[in-house]
Amino acid sequence: MLFFICLHLYLFIKSKTIKDDFISLIPLFIGTYYYMSMAAIAPFAIFLVFVSIYKRSSLTQKKYLIGPSIFIGSLFLYIFITKFGIIDPRSRGLDLAIWNDVNVTADANKYRGLARLSERSIFSFNTDTEKIGNKLVFNYPISTINVFVNNYLSFFSPDFLFLKGDTILRHSTSMVGQFFPFLLPFMVIGAFIFFKNADKKLRSIFLVWILVSPIPAALTKDGANYLLRVITLMPFLTYFSGLGLVESISWFKNKILRIVYIAILFFVGIYSTYYFYFGYFHVYPALAAQSYEYGFKEISDFQTSNSGKMLIVWEDKYPTYQRVFVTKKKLTPRTRLMK
């Protein structure tokens, strides 16, 4: 999925003609098909492409763009409806939405109860807090917005990016963030250099994708720091880190100092990698054992020792969901079972 998203970005950034812009939508369509979070990101990406197409078009060409625009929009909308079920209240996407989470008002309920114990003031309009104040401040819409903002900002926090990473231990060791801590200054330097020197189109692409990428994760009740729904953010931050790192090397004009600096970076990088793998192989298995409560090992062992049988795992209320373990043994084909 990420390959097709990056391919779209590469083609769109390098595009010189209207035809190139349209071609860049092909990998975007494929990436969207295989990555549900793109249901929230794709509209912004498509908008960027059509802004570019509109700017390149003459008045005559703009008239002929209406048909292709409607067709492409309908194609993406068809995926959103049929594959992602964005209008089906029983779909997984809407089931995970924060506005359907019973716990979205948990903090508001707590604060509302504490407010009832307080004395009247001008801020409660000199009446009981439950009559006006609580309803204005601690209500469902405001609670939903607060959860969204908290989730959204968590993906730009040092904890997520450099210290702990995803709080779900199936996705992270919880001992290292998504980037090694020593990359923090280089990421900042790289971002500064990029937005200072890049052309308007490139700045717009990066800025929109960086700001939009956390939205799918922020809208779901899995909460803050959920890596799998914000994976499209990582290539941009990785680019900033690499740009800052390379640029910092050019600061040293003296050959000896440059070699020493590169050697230090190399040592820090090697040590950071060793730190991660030591924790991964010697700490993570015990630390994350509880996060694999579903018995994946037992399922895998069953599949290995029973190669002639297909094991279907029914999970919660998604009856068509299957986990298939690929082993070296040849599995007998089975007709897919449906509930």
pLDDT digits (tens, 9 = 90+) for 254-289: 999 999 999 999 999 999 999 999 999 999 888 887
What's the pLDDT score for residue 271? 97
- pLDDT of the residue at 314: 54
Q: Which residues, given as ranges, of the chain have pLDDT below 70?
A: 93, 292-297, 299-300, 307-339
Mean pLDDT of the chain, nearest integer = 85
CB 215 within 8 A of CB 41: yes
The confidence score (pLDDT) of residue 339 equals: 36
**Burial readout 119-152 (b: 16 or more C-beta within 10 A, e: otherwise):** eeeeebeeeebeeebbeebbeeeebbebbbeebb
The predicted structure's pLDDT at residue 91: 73
Residue 320's CB is within 10 A of a number of other CB atoms, namely 10
SS (H, E, C) 109-153: HHHHHHHHCCCCCHHHCCCCCCCCHHHHHCCHHHHHHHHHHHHHH
Residues 137-160 pLDDT 10s? 999 999 999 999 999 999 999 999
pLDDT of residue 110: 92
**Three-state DSSP class for 220?**
strand
pLDDT for 254: 93
pLDDT value for 224: 77
User: Considering the entire predicted model, what is its pTM?
Assistant: 0.81
Task: Report the C-alpha gap between 141 and 126 in whole angstroms.
Answer: 24
Backbone angles phi, psi at 213, to 5 degrees: -55, -40
Q: Which pLDDT score, from 0 to 100, does residue 95 have?
A: 77
Contact 252, 261 (CB under 8 A): yes
Evaluate the CA torsion angle 158, 162, 163, 168 in order and state its sign. Answer: positive
